[in-house]
Chain A
Amino acid sequence: MVRGMRAWSDAQVEQCIGTLLRTGVMIAAAVVLFGGCLYVIRYGGALPAYRVFHGEPADLRSVTGIVHAALAVKSRGLIQLGLLLLIATPILRVVFSVLAFALQRDVTYVVVSLIVLAVLSYSLSGGGL
């Protein structure tokens, strides 16, 4: 298997990445749709309040908070989990690129991909500049 992967061409890597992205976005959309249905059923009659900015509560802002809210089958937590999966998809793509370039023994691009991954991880952990 390793030998087969070593022979990967750029075109094959891209093919894989395309499938990865598409699958990721479909799973994310399904989770958002499920949470969205629950949300509309539970809060359909309430009034939306987006005119004034309040910011989201803490449990819808961090990765751990969102996972807890989703596990408790809270509709807004489930939607947020779907959105988190959506954000994770391109990040996973970069992780995949690191591996693919490593198998191609392309040290330059392993470093390039790792730099991109570092910026993404820093952002998701909530670090601003």
Chain B
Amino acid sequence: MNVLAFTTIIGLCSLGVGFLGALTGLGGGVVIVPLLALGFGVDIRYAIGASLVAVIATSSGAAAAYVKEGFSNIRIGMFLEMATTFGALVGASLATGVSTGVIAIIFGAVLIYSAYLSGRPQPEQQSEAPPDGWATFFKMEAAYPGSEGLISYSVHAIPAGFSLMFVAGILSGLLGIGSGAVKVLAMDHIMRVPFKVSTATSNFMIGVTAAASAGLYLNRGYIDPGLAMPVMLGVLLGSLAGARVLPGAKTGALRLVFALVILGLGIEMIYNGFTGRF
């Protein structure tokens, strides 16, 4: 297979991954690394570099749509980015010292966890508890547009959420993914931010977090232009198309299939990590 064929196939696969990722809301970034590493035998370090770049592209590309809906909260986002960017720097620094087999096993565990999360319903929980003192100091209370006007919300458990965000950052830097699932979990379940606000704010944060580790990956020579080019362009186009088709699409069954694919990839990553194929 020459460069022309390789670029075309990788580009088309990335297009499909970006499309499905946006359509199912599961994000495509998490599938890129296993696709390249397991499907095309690409070294996991090159795969992580290319994936990071695609993650930044999707996050920035989708930002305009999220902003229009008015769900994102830049204060919560910026505050938590202190944790995620520092975590990403730690994760990316670890990536150069940890063996690729260990990275594959951690990656597999995160994939299985993402598949599990996506299978669960997302309840819209409101709480009556008084807001955290930190939340008041950092002015995180806000409101978002609901069906009957603005719905105001407060934020809770800032230290716990901040710590989990640090972990999300480490995973992002170590594995070259957006860690959207962990970010939403921290905001939605721990800080009890409304689900729509968590999702939109998480999308904002993913780009900044990935940029923090991408700088380091670029400097270490993990980002190969020949590989990153079709991945970035494919995922970006695919996700923009997916977001356009999304309203009105019935994604229940598709979501389940995609979750099963992620689960399968997770098991295969762990198996290959243990058998030393990486």
Contacts and interface: CB of A to CB of B under 8 A. Distances in A.
Contacts, number: 218
Interface string A35-76: 110011001111110111111110011100000000000011
Contact of A14 (B74, B92, B137): B74
A102 interface: no
Interface string B82-100: 1001101110110010000
Given A32-B229, A51-B42, A56-B221, A87 B215 contact: yes
B45 interface: yes
B226 A79 contact: yes
Interface in A74-110: 75-77, 79-80, 83-84, 86-91, 93-94, 97, 106, 108-109
A89 B78 contact: no
Contact of A28 (B57, B85, B93): B57
Contacts of A40: 3-4, 7
Interface string B29-70: 000000010001111011000000100110111011011101
Contact of A116 (B3, B208, B226): B208
A5 interface: no
B219 interface: yes
A97 B78 contact: yes
A103 to B, nearest CB: 14
A112 B140 CA distance: 13
B62 to A, nearest CB: 9
Given A50-B40, A86-B53, A116 B85 contact: yes
B214 interface: yes
Contacts of A15: 67-68
A123 B223 contact: no
B230 interface: yes
Nearest to A32: B229
Given A29-B57, A87-B56, A10 B74 contact: yes
A128 B60 contact: no
A119 B63 contact: no
A128 B78 contact: no
A52 B2 contact: no
A55 B220 contact: yes
Contact of B236 (A29, A44, A47, A94): A29
Contacts of B60: 21-22, 24-25, 86, 89-90
B74 A87 contact: no
Given A25-B61, A39-B226, A129-B90, A116 B45 contact: no
Contacts of B81: 94, 116
23 contacts: A14-B67, A17-B74, A22-B61, A39-B3, A53-B43, A56-B222, A56-B224, A60-B225, A61-B221, A76-B226, A79-B228, A83-B225, A87-B53, A89-B60, A89-B211, A90-B210, A97-B74, A108-B138, A113-B78, A123-B215, A124-B211, A125-B219, A128-B216
Interface of B: 1-4, 6-7, 36, 40-43, 45-46, 53, 56-57, 59-61, 63-64, 66-68, 70, 72, 74-75, 78-79, 81-82, 85-86, 88-90, 92-93, 96, 137-139, 142, 207-208, 210-216, 218-230, 232-233, 236
Given A39-B225, A128-B220, 9 more contacts: A17-B63, A22-B60, A25-B61, A28-B57, A29-B57, A55-B221, A77-B225, A119-B212, A120-B212
